[in-house]
Amino acid sequence: MAPGAVVAANFQLAKEFSKLNHPLCRPRKGCNRTRHHSLKKLQCGVEEAYTSEEDLKEQCGTDPPLINRDWSSLPEDIQDAILVKLEYKDLFQAKVVSKLFKTRIESDGFHGCRGKMLTREAFLTALHFSVGKDGVWQSTGYDLAANAWRRLPPFDFLPKLDPALFKDHSICAAGGIMCANVSTSSSMQEEIVVFNPMTRRWRKLPPLNHPRNPVLMHMLVDPSGNSYKVIVAGSARAGHEHLSKITEVFDSRTSKWTVTQELPGPVFALNEHQTGVYVNGILFCIAFLDAQDSGKGLIAYKVDEGKWVPHLTCRLPNSTNLSIVQVVESNGEVVVFSEIERNPYVGNVEHRIDVLEKVACTDSDEGLGKWRNVMRETKAGNQAGLQTYPEYTCVPFGDGKLCIFNTIAHSGIVYDVRSGERVDTLSSPMCSGSGDMGFYSMNPVTFSFEPSFKGSPRLPT
């Protein structure tokens, strides 16, 4: 057959494959349990983007002869051109159809081809995590592009977590890759990994110069996609006050951690796990301020210079009376979500959204932030709520919108940042967990994530 005819024939084959109801794509007898499992998940309102390795092993051990004969005759670039046309969830189901498909989909060549075609596979927000009894963790998020809940492939390629230590884990993300502290020790030694959930590629970062479990962890990817940085700071371990002041930066170009300027403010100024937000070259995070009775405020770190910038420090509204406070980015603006306990006897709380408009400097080099309140609502609190993790987080929800997300019910209310008005609601998936999954989550995930085959944790140094 002429090369052109082969291409045409196999593009037609790909068209049939993409429907995932072609006879070649149907699991053979004995495989119905896997199909029923996937259907059950879809009925629960969560689109599965994967089939597990365990399910894959249950499939028949050999590919259909037609796939073997036709597929193996194609050059790899033609195979990529065919597979790259599959939809997000179909792509992972295709790995079950054929081991030949699976091999190619998991290759670096296909990852590069897919990454060039699609810069992102989804636009996920309201991310939350579950950990099974086997230690394998999963992540589910709401896809703003598809208006549907989606579950990422399981992170079964990473070191397993101890579910009892979920509140000690932190996670951040940028450019299609994630970074997490997966340490199973609540003592001193961190274990920070960088990984791509789509390609399953990962690397363990070298130890910090000052081993500890940091409180702040933020990730930046260069716009070219050729390098990334991980910024960590602080420590909450009692008796090690000196560690609570340390800032370190990992650069993928050198594959080394560098100690930079110490945190401003008192010891243990950072006492809540967070990722911070990066706006115009500055990383903002929440910390206790130095001045007596100042409570909490925003502190600022200039990433390129490796320095904390005192004159950009600004006190938060109601800074001494906050039960929850989180910093979020929206359309290039720094936004703070806070919860204030108004009546502890009946559990009434006030939720606020405030936007930082500018920071004015005083003669004493102290920053005075000007805040614009856009939302203030009083609601009945949950006195039986979470004690070690905030019941609510604030997450981006598209252009100029934020969602106050209930981490227990997995539902939320969407607000317009400009007007402060309610504009939408986020319904929880019909079932948000599966099987032996309990309620576990990484520390507050206040960012959106765009999964992609492009990002690599193993960038050349």
- Give the tens place of pLDDT for each residue, 385-411: 445 567 889 999 999 999 999 988 899
Answer yes or no: is pLDDT of 62 > 70.
no
Return the ∠ at Cα 215 (arms to 209 and 217), rounded to 5°: 75
Mean pLDDT, residues 83-90 taken together: 84
For range 57-63, the mean pLDDT? 47
Q: pLDDT tens digit string along 192-209?
A: 999 999 999 999 999 999
Residue pLDDT, tens place only, 164-188 = 776 668 899 999 999 999 887 655 6
How many separate domains does the chain show? 2
Same-domain pairing of 263 and 374: yes
Query: What per-residue confidence (pLDDT) applies to 93?
Result: 81
Per cent of the chain over pLDDT 90 is 42
Residues 178 and 152: their CA atoms lie apart, in Å, by 12
Q: Which pLDDT score is estimated for 24?
A: 40
Question: What gap in Å lies between CA 31 and CA 34, rounded to an integer?
Answer: 6
User: How far is Cα 448 from Cα 329, in angstroms, rounded to an integer?
Assistant: 10
Q: Which of 75, 90, 117 is the last residue of a domain?
A: 117
Please give the residue range of the domain that contains residue 346. Answer: 124-426
Q: How confident is the model at residue 73 (pLDDT cuts 50, 70, 90)?
A: confident
**Which of residues 131 and 384 earns the better pLDDT score?**
131
Angle 406-185-405 from CA coordinates, rounded to 5°: 5
Q: Are residue 129 and residue 81 in the same domain, yes or no?
A: no
Q: Do 275 and 172 fall within a single domain? A: yes
Residues 193 and 316 in one domain: yes
Query: Who has greater pLDDT, 87 or 261?
Result: 261
pLDDT for 247 beyond 80:
yes
User: Model pTM?
Assistant: 0.83
Q: What is the mean pLDDT of residues 408-423?
A: 93
**Is it the case that residue 460 has pLDDT exceeding 70?**
no
Q: Which residue has the higher pLDDT, 91 or 4?
A: 91
Q: Which of 117, 133, 161 is the last residue of a domain?
A: 117
Tell whether 197 and 312 lie within a shared domain.
Answer: yes
**301: nearest Cα among 247, 378, 357, 257:** 247
Are 59 and 87 members of one domain? yes
Q: Is the pLDDT of residue 375 over 90?
A: yes
Integer distance in angstroms from the first to the last C-alpha of the chain?
45
User: Which pLDDT band, with edges at 50, 70 and 90, does 261 fall under?
Assistant: very high
Q: Are 129 and 207 found together in one domain?
A: yes
Above pLDDT 70, what percent of the chain?
Answer: 74
Report the DSSP pairing between strands 46-48 and 148-151: parallel
CB 341 within 8 A of CB 351: no
